[in-house]
Chain A
Amino acid sequence: MSARLWTVSLAGLLILVSLLSLIIGPTAFSIAEISNGLLGRGDANIQTIMQDIRLPRALLAAIVGAGLGASGAALQGFTRNPLAAPGLLGFSACAALGAVLALYFDFNALITPAAIGLALLGALAMTGFSRRKPGASGLVLAGIGIGALATAVTGLVMNLAPNPWALSELVYWLMGSLKNADLLDVAISGPLTLVGLTLLCLSGPALRVLGLGEETAQSLGISVARTQALIVTGCALCIGAGVAVAGAIGFVGLFVPHILRFLTGPDEARLVPLSALGGAIFLVIVDTLIRATSGPGTPLYLGIVTSLIGVPFFLWLAWRQT
Protein backbone atom coordinates (compact mmCIF):
# COMPACT_ATOMS: atom_id res chain seq x y z
CA MET A 1 0.00 0.00 0.00
CA SER A 2 1.45 3.40 -0.98
CA ALA A 3 2.12 6.17 1.53
CA ARG A 4 -0.63 8.30 -0.04
CA LEU A 5 -3.14 5.48 0.37
CA TRP A 6 -2.07 5.00 3.98
CA THR A 7 -2.53 8.73 4.62
CA VAL A 8 -6.00 8.78 3.05
CA SER A 9 -7.02 5.57 4.89
CA LEU A 10 -5.82 6.83 8.27
CA ALA A 11 -7.47 10.23 7.73
CA GLY A 12 -10.72 8.44 6.86
CA LEU A 13 -10.39 6.23 9.93
CA LEU A 14 -9.80 9.30 12.11
CA ILE A 15 -12.98 10.93 10.80
CA LEU A 16 -14.88 7.68 11.40
CA VAL A 17 -13.71 7.15 15.00
CA SER A 18 -14.29 10.86 15.75
CA LEU A 19 -17.89 10.59 14.51
CA LEU A 20 -18.35 7.38 16.52
CA SER A 21 -17.01 9.13 19.62
CA LEU A 22 -19.80 11.71 19.22
CA ILE A 23 -22.36 8.91 19.01
CA ILE A 24 -21.01 6.63 21.76
CA GLY A 25 -21.58 7.55 25.40
CA PRO A 26 -23.27 6.47 28.62
CA THR A 27 -26.53 7.96 27.28
CA ALA A 28 -27.72 6.87 23.84
CA PHE A 29 -29.03 9.54 21.43
CA SER A 30 -30.43 9.28 17.92
CA ILE A 31 -28.44 10.71 15.02
CA ALA A 32 -31.00 13.53 14.69
CA GLU A 33 -30.64 14.39 18.40
CA ILE A 34 -26.85 14.38 18.08
CA SER A 35 -26.81 16.67 15.03
CA ASN A 36 -29.40 18.99 16.59
CA GLY A 37 -27.39 19.08 19.82
CA LEU A 38 -24.21 19.97 17.94
CA LEU A 39 -26.05 22.71 16.03
CA GLY A 40 -27.52 24.17 19.24
CA ARG A 41 -31.09 23.05 18.63
CA GLY A 42 -33.57 20.89 20.54
CA ASP A 43 -33.13 19.52 24.09
CA ALA A 44 -30.86 21.75 26.20
CA ASN A 45 -29.35 18.74 28.05
CA ILE A 46 -28.37 17.07 24.79
CA GLN A 47 -26.90 20.37 23.55
CA THR A 48 -24.79 20.57 26.71
CA ILE A 49 -23.61 16.95 26.44
CA MET A 50 -22.70 17.32 22.76
CA GLN A 51 -21.16 20.80 22.82
CA ASP A 52 -19.49 20.76 26.24
CA ILE A 53 -18.45 17.12 26.61
CA ARG A 54 -18.40 14.88 23.56
CA LEU A 55 -17.28 17.37 20.86
CA PRO A 56 -14.42 19.02 22.81
CA ARG A 57 -13.21 15.64 24.14
CA ALA A 58 -13.14 14.10 20.67
CA LEU A 59 -11.36 17.13 19.19
CA LEU A 60 -8.86 17.39 22.04
CA ALA A 61 -8.10 13.66 22.00
CA ALA A 62 -7.32 13.98 18.28
CA ILE A 63 -5.18 17.11 18.80
CA VAL A 64 -3.21 15.70 21.75
CA GLY A 65 -2.78 12.29 20.10
CA ALA A 66 -1.57 13.87 16.86
CA GLY A 67 1.03 15.93 18.71
CA LEU A 68 2.27 12.92 20.69
CA GLY A 69 2.45 10.61 17.67
CA ALA A 70 4.27 13.09 15.41
CA SER A 71 6.69 14.09 18.19
CA GLY A 72 7.59 10.45 18.85
CA ALA A 73 8.17 9.76 15.15
CA ALA A 74 10.37 12.84 14.71
CA LEU A 75 12.42 12.09 17.86
CA GLN A 76 12.92 8.43 16.89
CA GLY A 77 13.94 9.50 13.38
CA PHE A 78 16.36 12.19 14.55
CA THR A 79 18.02 10.12 17.28
CA ARG A 80 17.85 6.82 15.31
CA ASN A 81 16.87 5.43 18.71
CA PRO A 82 13.76 3.22 18.91
CA LEU A 83 13.25 4.12 22.58
CA ALA A 84 13.12 7.88 21.99
CA ALA A 85 9.79 9.51 22.83
CA PRO A 86 8.61 12.85 24.24
CA GLY A 87 8.15 11.24 27.68
CA LEU A 88 11.69 9.86 27.81
CA LEU A 89 13.41 12.97 26.44
CA GLY A 90 11.99 15.40 28.99
CA PHE A 91 9.39 17.30 26.93
CA SER A 92 6.44 15.89 28.88
CA ALA A 93 8.22 16.29 32.23
CA CYS A 94 9.02 19.96 31.56
CA ALA A 95 5.46 20.74 30.44
CA ALA A 96 4.07 18.87 33.46
CA LEU A 97 6.33 20.87 35.80
CA GLY A 98 4.98 24.11 34.35
CA ALA A 99 1.38 23.00 34.89
CA VAL A 100 2.10 21.67 38.40
CA LEU A 101 3.75 24.98 39.40
CA ALA A 102 0.67 26.88 38.16
CA LEU A 103 -1.61 24.53 40.13
CA TYR A 104 0.56 24.72 43.27
CA PHE A 105 0.53 28.51 43.32
CA ASP A 106 -3.20 28.47 42.58
CA PHE A 107 -2.88 30.21 39.21
CA ASN A 108 -5.20 27.81 37.39
CA ALA A 109 -5.67 30.28 34.56
CA LEU A 110 -1.93 30.07 33.86
CA ILE A 111 -1.73 26.27 33.46
CA THR A 112 -1.63 26.47 29.66
CA PRO A 113 1.02 29.21 29.28
CA ALA A 114 3.06 27.65 32.11
CA ALA A 115 3.05 24.18 30.51
CA ILE A 116 3.95 25.53 27.07
CA GLY A 117 6.48 27.97 28.53
CA LEU A 118 8.31 25.28 30.52
CA ALA A 119 8.24 22.91 27.53
CA LEU A 120 9.84 25.62 25.38
CA LEU A 121 12.32 26.44 28.17
CA GLY A 122 13.23 22.73 28.35
CA ALA A 123 13.69 22.69 24.56
CA LEU A 124 15.93 25.75 24.81
CA ALA A 125 17.98 24.09 27.58
CA MET A 126 18.34 20.90 25.48
CA THR A 127 19.54 22.98 22.53
CA GLY A 128 21.95 24.87 24.80
CA PHE A 129 23.43 21.72 26.34
CA SER A 130 23.96 20.09 22.94
CA ARG A 131 25.12 23.34 21.29
CA ARG A 132 28.76 22.30 20.88
CA LYS A 133 27.80 19.24 18.86
CA PRO A 134 24.13 19.14 17.86
CA GLY A 135 22.92 15.64 17.06
CA ALA A 136 21.37 12.46 18.36
CA SER A 137 23.67 11.66 21.29
CA GLY A 138 23.72 15.24 22.59
CA LEU A 139 19.94 15.58 22.41
CA VAL A 140 19.31 12.22 24.12
CA LEU A 141 21.69 12.97 27.00
CA ALA A 142 20.44 16.54 27.44
CA GLY A 143 16.79 15.45 27.16
CA ILE A 144 17.08 12.67 29.73
CA GLY A 145 18.98 14.96 32.13
CA ILE A 146 16.58 17.88 31.83
CA GLY A 147 13.59 15.53 32.05
CA ALA A 148 14.99 14.00 35.25
CA LEU A 149 15.49 17.47 36.72
CA ALA A 150 11.92 18.51 35.84
CA THR A 151 10.57 15.27 37.37
CA ALA A 152 12.60 15.89 40.55
CA VAL A 153 11.30 19.46 40.89
CA THR A 154 7.74 18.24 40.25
CA GLY A 155 8.27 15.74 43.09
CA LEU A 156 9.52 18.56 45.32
CA VAL A 157 6.45 20.68 44.56
CA MET A 158 4.21 17.72 45.43
CA ASN A 159 6.26 17.13 48.57
CA LEU A 160 5.62 20.73 49.62
CA ALA A 161 1.88 20.60 48.89
CA PRO A 162 0.14 22.42 51.77
CA ASN A 163 -2.57 19.81 52.35
CA PRO A 164 -3.77 16.39 51.09
CA TRP A 165 -6.41 17.99 48.85
CA ALA A 166 -3.84 20.10 47.05
CA LEU A 167 -1.62 17.03 46.68
CA SER A 168 -4.47 14.90 45.33
CA GLU A 169 -5.30 17.65 42.81
CA LEU A 170 -1.70 17.53 41.54
CA VAL A 171 -1.63 13.71 41.45
CA TYR A 172 -4.95 13.45 39.61
CA TRP A 173 -3.86 16.11 37.16
CA LEU A 174 -0.61 14.24 36.42
CA MET A 175 -2.57 11.08 35.63
CA GLY A 176 -3.82 12.78 32.48
CA SER A 177 -7.45 13.19 31.52
CA LEU A 178 -9.75 15.00 29.12
CA LYS A 179 -12.70 15.08 31.54
CA ASN A 180 -12.50 18.88 31.95
CA ALA A 181 -12.01 19.57 28.24
CA ASP A 182 -13.91 22.46 26.70
CA LEU A 183 -13.92 24.30 23.38
CA LEU A 184 -11.61 27.01 24.79
CA ASP A 185 -8.97 24.29 25.32
CA VAL A 186 -9.48 23.27 21.71
CA ALA A 187 -9.04 26.88 20.57
CA ILE A 188 -5.78 27.17 22.54
CA SER A 189 -4.13 23.81 21.93
CA GLY A 190 -5.33 23.33 18.33
CA PRO A 191 -3.37 26.16 16.66
CA LEU A 192 -0.25 25.57 18.79
CA THR A 193 -0.26 21.87 17.93
CA LEU A 194 -0.79 22.73 14.26
CA VAL A 195 2.30 24.97 14.28
CA GLY A 196 4.27 22.22 16.06
CA LEU A 197 3.11 19.59 13.56
CA THR A 198 4.12 21.84 10.66
CA LEU A 199 7.64 22.21 12.08
CA LEU A 200 7.92 18.45 12.62
CA CYS A 201 6.70 17.69 9.09
CA LEU A 202 9.20 20.22 7.67
CA SER A 203 11.99 18.22 9.31
CA GLY A 204 10.83 15.07 7.45
CA PRO A 205 13.10 15.15 4.36
CA ALA A 206 16.13 15.81 6.60
CA LEU A 207 15.14 12.88 8.85
CA ARG A 208 15.14 10.64 5.78
CA VAL A 209 18.77 11.60 5.00
CA LEU A 210 19.84 11.40 8.66
CA GLY A 211 19.13 7.67 8.47
CA LEU A 212 22.49 7.48 6.68
CA GLY A 213 24.26 8.89 9.76
CA GLU A 214 24.98 12.48 10.73
CA GLU A 215 28.28 12.84 8.84
CA THR A 216 26.84 11.55 5.58
CA ALA A 217 23.75 13.72 6.01
CA GLN A 218 25.94 16.79 6.56
CA SER A 219 27.98 15.92 3.47
CA LEU A 220 24.68 15.95 1.53
CA GLY A 221 23.94 19.50 2.71
CA ILE A 222 21.69 18.70 5.69
CA SER A 223 22.12 20.98 8.71
CA VAL A 224 21.88 18.81 11.84
CA ALA A 225 21.55 21.91 14.04
CA ARG A 226 18.65 23.31 11.98
CA THR A 227 16.87 19.94 11.95
CA GLN A 228 17.31 19.60 15.72
CA ALA A 229 15.95 23.13 16.24
CA LEU A 230 12.86 22.33 14.14
CA ILE A 231 12.23 19.11 16.06
CA VAL A 232 12.73 20.39 19.62
CA THR A 233 10.57 23.46 18.93
CA GLY A 234 7.89 21.35 17.23
CA CYS A 235 7.88 18.82 20.08
CA ALA A 236 7.78 21.57 22.73
CA LEU A 237 4.72 23.16 21.08
CA CYS A 238 2.88 19.84 20.56
CA ILE A 239 3.69 18.39 23.99
CA GLY A 240 3.30 21.70 25.86
CA ALA A 241 -0.12 22.30 24.29
CA GLY A 242 -1.14 18.70 24.95
CA VAL A 243 0.00 18.54 28.57
CA ALA A 244 -1.63 21.93 29.26
CA VAL A 245 -5.10 20.60 28.42
CA ALA A 246 -4.81 16.88 29.12
CA GLY A 247 -2.04 16.37 31.70
CA ALA A 248 0.66 13.76 31.20
CA ILE A 249 -0.30 11.14 28.58
CA GLY A 250 2.46 8.56 28.37
CA PHE A 251 3.76 6.11 25.78
CA VAL A 252 1.57 7.18 22.81
CA GLY A 253 4.61 8.87 21.26
CA LEU A 254 6.62 5.67 21.73
CA PHE A 255 4.49 2.91 20.31
CA VAL A 256 2.35 4.63 17.63
CA PRO A 257 5.38 5.39 15.37
CA HIS A 258 6.66 1.81 15.84
CA ILE A 259 3.36 0.27 14.81
CA LEU A 260 3.12 2.56 11.77
CA ARG A 261 6.77 1.94 10.83
CA PHE A 262 6.00 -1.78 10.91
CA LEU A 263 2.86 -1.32 8.78
CA THR A 264 3.95 1.37 6.31
CA GLY A 265 7.73 1.00 6.04
CA PRO A 266 10.77 2.85 7.35
CA ASP A 267 10.44 6.22 5.55
CA GLU A 268 10.94 8.66 8.43
CA ALA A 269 9.63 11.65 6.45
CA ARG A 270 6.26 10.01 5.80
CA LEU A 271 6.15 8.53 9.29
CA VAL A 272 5.75 11.96 10.95
CA PRO A 273 2.32 12.83 9.44
CA LEU A 274 1.22 9.18 9.53
CA SER A 275 2.07 8.97 13.24
CA ALA A 276 0.12 12.18 13.85
CA LEU A 277 -2.94 10.48 12.34
CA GLY A 278 -2.22 7.23 14.19
CA GLY A 279 -1.80 8.98 17.55
CA ALA A 280 -5.04 10.91 17.02
CA ILE A 281 -6.98 7.72 16.16
CA PHE A 282 -5.58 5.85 19.17
CA LEU A 283 -6.35 8.59 21.69
CA VAL A 284 -9.87 9.22 20.34
CA ILE A 285 -10.65 5.49 20.66
CA VAL A 286 -9.20 5.17 24.18
CA ASP A 287 -10.89 8.34 25.47
CA THR A 288 -14.23 7.32 23.95
CA LEU A 289 -14.01 3.91 25.66
CA ILE A 290 -13.13 5.57 28.97
CA ARG A 291 -16.04 8.02 28.65
CA ALA A 292 -18.49 5.32 27.58
CA THR A 293 -17.54 2.91 30.37
CA SER A 294 -17.24 5.43 33.21
CA GLY A 295 -19.77 4.90 35.94
CA PRO A 296 -20.18 6.43 39.37
CA GLY A 297 -16.97 6.99 41.38
CA THR A 298 -13.49 7.90 40.25
CA PRO A 299 -13.28 7.66 36.45
CA LEU A 300 -10.39 5.95 34.69
CA TYR A 301 -7.65 8.41 33.78
CA LEU A 302 -6.52 8.58 30.15
CA GLY A 303 -2.81 8.73 31.03
CA ILE A 304 -3.12 5.60 33.19
CA VAL A 305 -4.82 3.63 30.41
CA THR A 306 -2.29 4.69 27.73
CA SER A 307 0.55 3.74 30.10
CA LEU A 308 -1.02 0.36 30.83
CA ILE A 309 -1.16 -0.27 27.10
CA GLY A 310 2.25 1.30 26.41
CA VAL A 311 4.43 -0.18 29.16
CA PRO A 312 4.20 -3.81 27.94
CA PHE A 313 5.06 -2.55 24.46
CA PHE A 314 8.04 -0.60 25.85
CA LEU A 315 9.30 -3.68 27.72
CA TRP A 316 8.93 -5.81 24.60
CA LEU A 317 10.90 -3.21 22.63
CA ALA A 318 13.63 -3.04 25.29
CA TRP A 319 13.81 -6.85 25.34
CA ARG A 320 14.18 -6.90 21.54
CA GLN A 321 16.97 -4.30 21.71
CA THR A 322 18.97 -6.42 24.13
Chain B
Amino acid sequence: MTLELNNIRVAYSGKTVIRGITVKARAGELIALVGPNGSGKSSLLKAVTGLIPHEGQTNLPPDTRTRASSLAYLAQDATAPVRRKVRDIVALGRTPHIGPLGKLTSNDDVIISDSLSRCDMSEFSDREFGTLSGGEQMRVHLARTFATQAQILLADEPVTALDPYYQLTVMDALRGYAGKHRTVITALHDLNLARRYADRIWVIQDGILVKDHLPDEALDIETLAQVFRITPDGQSL
Protein backbone atom coordinates (compact mmCIF):
# COMPACT_ATOMS: atom_id res chain seq x y z
CA MET B 1 0.00 0.00 0.00
CA THR B 2 1.28 3.47 -0.84
CA LEU B 3 1.14 5.96 2.02
CA GLU B 4 0.36 9.48 0.88
CA LEU B 5 0.82 12.50 3.14
CA ASN B 6 -0.56 15.79 1.93
CA ASN B 7 0.45 19.04 3.63
CA ILE B 8 0.70 17.59 7.18
CA ARG B 9 1.01 20.33 9.79
CA VAL B 10 1.37 19.91 13.56
CA ALA B 11 1.40 22.61 16.22
CA TYR B 12 1.85 22.37 20.02
CA SER B 13 0.73 25.29 22.18
CA GLY B 14 0.90 27.67 19.24
CA LYS B 15 4.36 26.46 18.10
CA THR B 16 4.41 24.80 14.67
CA VAL B 17 6.60 21.69 14.69
CA ILE B 18 5.62 20.14 11.33
CA ARG B 19 5.31 22.68 8.56
CA GLY B 20 3.32 21.19 5.71
CA ILE B 21 4.93 17.88 4.71
CA THR B 22 3.76 16.31 1.44
CA VAL B 23 5.37 12.99 0.52
CA LYS B 24 4.66 9.42 -0.64
CA ALA B 25 5.98 6.05 0.58
CA ARG B 26 5.43 3.14 -1.81
CA ALA B 27 4.74 -0.53 -1.12
CA GLY B 28 7.90 -2.57 -0.51
CA GLU B 29 9.93 0.46 0.60
CA LEU B 30 11.83 0.82 3.85
CA ILE B 31 12.19 4.53 4.50
CA ALA B 32 14.55 5.99 7.07
CA LEU B 33 13.32 9.23 8.62
CA VAL B 34 16.37 11.13 9.83
CA GLY B 35 16.98 14.57 11.29
CA PRO B 36 18.54 16.27 14.30
CA ASN B 37 16.94 16.11 17.77
CA GLY B 38 13.74 18.16 17.83
CA SER B 39 13.42 18.26 14.04
CA GLY B 40 9.91 16.72 14.17
CA LYS B 41 10.48 13.01 13.38
CA SER B 42 8.38 11.70 16.29
CA SER B 43 5.68 14.33 15.76
CA LEU B 44 5.32 13.35 12.11
CA LEU B 45 5.00 9.64 12.94
CA LYS B 46 2.49 10.36 15.75
CA ALA B 47 0.44 12.63 13.48
CA VAL B 48 0.26 9.97 10.75
CA THR B 49 -0.74 7.36 13.38
CA GLY B 50 -3.48 9.72 14.59
CA LEU B 51 -2.07 10.16 18.10
CA ILE B 52 -1.81 13.95 18.00
CA PRO B 53 -4.02 16.59 16.37
CA HIS B 54 -2.82 17.69 12.95
CA GLU B 55 -3.91 19.41 9.78
CA GLY B 56 -3.61 18.00 6.28
CA GLN B 57 -4.68 14.67 4.81
CA THR B 58 -3.45 11.09 4.51
CA ASN B 59 -4.89 8.26 2.42
CA LEU B 60 -5.38 6.18 5.60
CA PRO B 61 -8.92 5.16 6.67
CA PRO B 62 -10.44 7.84 8.95
CA ASP B 63 -12.08 5.27 11.24
CA THR B 64 -9.76 4.55 14.20
CA ARG B 65 -10.22 0.77 14.23
CA THR B 66 -9.87 0.32 10.47
CA ARG B 67 -6.81 2.56 10.53
CA ALA B 68 -5.34 0.47 13.37
CA SER B 69 -5.56 -2.67 11.23
CA SER B 70 -3.75 -1.03 8.29
CA LEU B 71 -1.09 0.91 10.23
CA ALA B 72 1.07 -0.41 13.09
CA TYR B 73 3.06 1.94 15.32
CA LEU B 74 6.09 1.19 17.47
CA ALA B 75 6.54 3.94 20.06
CA GLN B 76 9.98 5.22 21.09
CA ASP B 77 9.21 4.51 24.76
CA ALA B 78 7.32 1.26 24.18
CA THR B 79 6.61 -0.54 27.44
CA ALA B 80 4.77 -3.62 28.71
CA PRO B 81 3.83 -5.12 32.10
CA VAL B 82 6.94 -6.87 33.41
CA ARG B 83 5.12 -10.02 34.54
CA ARG B 84 3.23 -10.64 31.28
CA LYS B 85 4.36 -13.49 29.07
CA VAL B 86 6.03 -12.61 25.77
CA ARG B 87 3.38 -14.43 23.72
CA ASP B 88 0.54 -12.58 25.51
CA ILE B 89 2.17 -9.24 24.68
CA VAL B 90 2.64 -10.16 21.02
CA ALA B 91 -1.01 -11.31 20.94
CA LEU B 92 -2.09 -7.72 21.74
CA GLY B 93 -0.97 -6.82 18.23
CA ARG B 94 -4.09 -8.65 17.00
CA THR B 95 -6.35 -6.19 18.88
CA PRO B 96 -7.64 -4.37 15.75
CA HIS B 97 -8.73 -7.70 14.22
CA ILE B 98 -10.50 -9.35 17.17
CA GLY B 99 -13.88 -8.77 18.82
CA PRO B 100 -14.67 -6.66 21.90
CA LEU B 101 -14.14 -9.63 24.25
CA GLY B 102 -10.56 -10.13 23.05
CA LYS B 103 -10.97 -13.79 21.99
CA LEU B 104 -8.20 -15.10 19.70
CA THR B 105 -8.88 -17.57 16.87
CA SER B 106 -6.57 -20.35 15.66
CA ASN B 107 -5.63 -18.08 12.74
CA ASP B 108 -4.56 -15.40 15.25
CA ASP B 109 -2.40 -18.01 17.01
CA VAL B 110 -0.67 -18.86 13.73
CA ILE B 111 0.03 -15.18 13.04
CA ILE B 112 1.38 -14.65 16.58
CA SER B 113 3.74 -17.64 16.24
CA ASP B 114 4.89 -16.38 12.83
CA SER B 115 5.55 -12.88 14.24
CA LEU B 116 7.60 -14.32 17.11
CA SER B 117 9.56 -16.41 14.64
CA ARG B 118 10.29 -13.42 12.34
CA CYS B 119 11.88 -11.67 15.33
CA ASP B 120 13.76 -14.78 16.56
CA MET B 121 11.72 -14.74 19.75
CA SER B 122 9.93 -18.11 19.51
CA GLU B 123 12.04 -19.65 22.27
CA PHE B 124 11.16 -16.72 24.60
CA SER B 125 7.42 -17.22 24.11
CA ASP B 126 6.69 -18.26 27.71
CA ARG B 127 9.20 -15.93 29.39
CA GLU B 128 8.03 -12.95 31.45
CA PHE B 129 8.74 -9.62 29.72
CA GLY B 130 10.65 -8.23 32.70
CA THR B 131 13.21 -11.03 32.56
CA LEU B 132 14.39 -10.06 29.04
CA SER B 133 17.28 -7.76 28.07
CA GLY B 134 16.61 -4.40 26.39
CA GLY B 135 17.31 -5.84 22.95
CA GLU B 136 15.03 -8.81 23.52
CA GLN B 137 12.28 -6.52 24.82
CA MET B 138 12.52 -4.39 21.69
CA ARG B 139 12.16 -7.51 19.54
CA VAL B 140 9.01 -8.42 21.51
CA HIS B 141 7.55 -5.01 20.69
CA LEU B 142 8.56 -5.49 17.09
CA ALA B 143 6.87 -8.90 16.99
CA ARG B 144 3.75 -7.30 18.47
CA THR B 145 3.67 -4.70 15.67
CA PHE B 146 4.27 -7.45 13.09
CA ALA B 147 1.31 -9.41 14.52
CA THR B 148 -1.03 -6.61 13.44
CA GLN B 149 -0.10 -7.51 9.84
CA ALA B 150 -0.60 -3.90 8.86
CA GLN B 151 0.36 -2.75 5.38
CA ILE B 152 2.22 0.20 6.88
CA LEU B 153 4.54 0.09 9.90
CA LEU B 154 5.87 3.22 11.59
CA ALA B 155 8.73 2.74 14.08
CA ASP B 156 10.05 5.60 16.20
CA GLU B 157 13.77 5.13 16.85
CA PRO B 158 13.54 1.37 17.47
CA VAL B 159 17.32 0.83 17.69
CA THR B 160 18.48 3.90 19.63
CA ALA B 161 19.10 2.12 22.95
CA LEU B 162 20.40 -1.14 21.47
CA ASP B 163 23.90 -2.55 21.05
CA PRO B 164 25.21 -3.05 17.47
CA TYR B 165 24.13 -6.70 17.27
CA TYR B 166 20.52 -5.97 18.22
CA GLN B 167 20.48 -2.87 15.99
CA LEU B 168 21.25 -5.09 13.01
CA THR B 169 18.75 -7.82 13.98
CA VAL B 170 15.96 -5.25 14.42
CA MET B 171 16.79 -3.57 11.11
CA ASP B 172 16.92 -6.98 9.39
CA ALA B 173 13.49 -7.80 10.81
CA LEU B 174 12.08 -4.47 9.58
CA ARG B 175 13.61 -5.08 6.14
CA GLY B 176 12.05 -8.55 6.05
CA TYR B 177 8.65 -7.19 7.13
CA ALA B 178 8.60 -4.61 4.33
CA GLY B 179 9.26 -7.36 1.77
CA LYS B 180 7.68 -6.42 -1.53
CA HIS B 181 4.21 -5.36 -0.48
CA ARG B 182 4.44 -3.47 2.82
CA THR B 183 5.79 -0.04 3.73
CA VAL B 184 8.06 0.56 6.71
CA ILE B 185 9.03 4.05 7.87
CA THR B 186 11.49 4.16 10.74
CA ALA B 187 12.98 7.16 12.52
CA LEU B 188 16.74 6.67 12.97
CA HIS B 189 19.65 8.60 14.45
CA ASP B 190 22.35 6.35 13.03
CA LEU B 191 22.99 7.62 9.48
CA ASN B 192 25.14 4.58 8.64
CA LEU B 193 22.23 2.25 9.45
CA ALA B 194 19.95 4.49 7.38
CA ARG B 195 22.33 4.27 4.40
CA ARG B 196 22.72 0.51 4.79
CA TYR B 197 19.06 -0.49 5.11
CA ALA B 198 16.84 2.22 3.63
CA ASP B 199 15.49 2.27 0.10
CA ARG B 200 14.95 6.00 0.48
CA ILE B 201 15.76 8.52 3.17
CA TRP B 202 13.54 11.37 4.30
CA VAL B 203 15.58 14.16 5.91
CA ILE B 204 13.59 16.47 8.13
CA GLN B 205 14.78 19.76 9.62
CA ASP B 206 12.73 22.19 11.71
CA GLY B 207 9.51 20.44 10.68
CA ILE B 208 10.24 20.67 6.94
CA LEU B 209 11.06 17.72 4.68
CA VAL B 210 14.31 18.84 3.04
CA LYS B 211 15.21 15.60 1.22
CA ASP B 212 13.32 12.59 -0.17
CA HIS B 213 15.94 10.68 -2.11
CA LEU B 214 17.98 7.51 -2.46
CA PRO B 215 20.41 7.18 0.50
CA ASP B 216 23.57 8.57 -1.11
CA GLU B 217 21.72 11.52 -2.62
CA ALA B 218 19.78 12.26 0.56
CA LEU B 219 22.89 12.28 2.77
CA ASP B 220 25.22 14.27 0.52
CA ILE B 221 27.99 16.51 1.82
CA GLU B 222 25.81 19.60 1.73
CA THR B 223 22.94 17.99 3.72
CA LEU B 224 25.32 16.54 6.30
CA ALA B 225 26.82 19.96 6.84
CA GLN B 226 23.65 22.03 6.83
CA VAL B 227 21.26 19.68 8.66
CA PHE B 228 23.50 17.55 10.88
CA ARG B 229 26.55 19.89 11.21
CA ILE B 230 28.98 17.06 10.49
CA THR B 231 31.48 16.13 7.76
CA PRO B 232 31.17 12.94 5.66
CA ASP B 233 33.79 11.26 7.90
CA GLY B 234 31.75 12.01 11.04
CA GLN B 235 33.64 15.04 12.39
CA SER B 236 31.58 17.85 13.89
CA LEU B 237 31.71 21.19 12.14
Taking Cβ atoms with an 8 Å cutoff, the residues of A that contact B are 202, 204-205, 208-209, 211-213, 215-216, 218-223, 265-267, 269
List, in ascending order, chain B residues with CB within 8 A of A219's CB: 49-51, 68, 71-73, 75
Q: Please tell me which stretch of B32-40, B84-92, B189-197, B216-224 contacts chain A, meaning at least 4 of its Cβ atoms lie within 8 angstroms of it.
A: B84-92
* Contacts A204-B102, A221-B65 known; 9 new A-B pairs at CB < 8 A: A211-B84, A212-B89, A212-B92, A215-B51, A218-B64, A219-B68, A219-B73, A220-B96, A221-B95
List, in ascending order, chain A residues with CB within 8 A of B50's CB: 218-219
CA distance A212 to B82 in the complex (A): 10
Contact of B64 among A208, A221, A265, A267 (CB under 8 A): A221
Q: How far is the CB of A267 from chain B (nearest CB, A)?
A: 7
B95 and A209: CB pair below 8 A?
yes
Given known A218-B50, A219-B68, A221-B68, contact A213–B95 (CB-CB < 8 A): no
CA distance A221 to B102 in the complex (A): 13
CA distance A213 to B92 in the complex (A): 12
* Chain B: number of interface residues, binned into ranges: 20 to 34
CA distance A223 to B79 in the complex (A): 18
CA distance A267 to B93 in the complex (A): 15
List, in ascending order, chain B residues with CB within 8 A of A222's CB: 95
A266 and B84: CB pair below 8 A?
yes
Residue with the highest number of chain A CB atoms closer than 10 Å, among B51, B73, B95, B144? B95
Q: How far is the CB of A265 from chain B (nearest CB, A)?
A: 7
Across the interface, name the chain A residue whose C-beta is closest to B156. A215
Does B148 reach chain A (CB closer than 8 Å)?
A: yes
Contact of A220 among B46, B80, B88, B95 (CB under 8 A): B95
List, in ascending order, chain A residues with CB within 8 A of B144's CB: 212
A216 and B84: CB pair below 8 A?
no
Q: How far is the CB of B124 from chain A (nearest CB, A)?
A: 17
B51 and A220: CB pair below 8 A?
no
Taking Cβ atoms with an 8 Å cutoff, the residues of B that contact A are 46, 49-51, 64-65, 67-69, 71-73, 75, 77-81, 83-84, 88-89, 92-93, 95-96, 100-102, 144, 148
Can you sample 27 A-B contacts with CB below 8 Å? Answer: A205-B101, A209-B95, A211-B80, A212-B78, A212-B92, A212-B144, A213-B77, A213-B79, A215-B73, A218-B64, A219-B49, A219-B68, A219-B71, A219-B72, A219-B75, A220-B92, A220-B95, A220-B96, A221-B65, A221-B68, A221-B69, A221-B96, A222-B95, A223-B64, A266-B81, A266-B84, A267-B84
List, in ascending order, chain A residues with CB within 8 A of B51's CB: 215, 218-219
CA distance A218 to B72 in the complex (A): 11
A205 and B102: CB pair below 8 A?
yes
List, in ascending order, chain A residues with CB within 8 A of B101's CB: 205
CA distance A222 to B96 in the complex (A): 8
B92 and A208: CB pair below 8 A?
yes
List, in ascending order, chain A residues with CB within 8 A of B100's CB: 202, 205
- The 9 A-B residue pairs whose C-beta atoms are closest, nearest first, are A221-B68, A205-B102, A219-B73, A221-B65, A266-B83, A220-B95, A211-B81, A221-B96, A266-B81
CA distance A219 to B65 in the complex (A): 9
CA distance A269 to B100 in the complex (A): 12
CA distance A219 to B100 in the complex (A): 16
Residue with the highest number of chain A CB atoms closer than 10 Å, among B78, B79, B92, B101? B92
List, in ascending order, chain B residues with CB within 8 A of A223's CB: 64
List, in ascending order, chain B residues with CB within 8 A of A265's CB: 83
A215 and B95: CB pair below 8 A?
no
Q: How far is the CB of B40 from chain A (nearest CB, A)?
A: 17
List, in ascending order, chain A residues with CB within 8 A of B67's CB: 221
CA distance A204 to B103 in the complex (A): 12
CA distance A4 to B105 in the complex (A): 18
B84 and A213: CB pair below 8 A?
no
CA distance A96 to B46 in the complex (A): 42
List, in ascending order, chain B residues with CB within 8 A of A216's CB: 73, 75, 78
Across the interface, name the chain A residue whose C-beta is closest to B78. A216
Residue with the highest number of chain B CB atoms closer than 10 Å, among A212, A216, A221? A216
Q: How far is the CB of A200 from chain B (nearest CB, A)?
A: 14
List, in ascending order, chain A residues with CB within 8 A of B71's CB: 219
Across the interface, name the chain B residue whose C-beta is closest to A223. B64
CA distance A111 to B96 in the complex (A): 44
CA distance A265 to B87 in the complex (A): 14
Across the interface, name the chain B residue whose C-beta is closest to A211. B81
Contact of A213 among B72, B75, B93, B102 (CB under 8 A): B75
CA distance A193 to B46 in the complex (A): 39
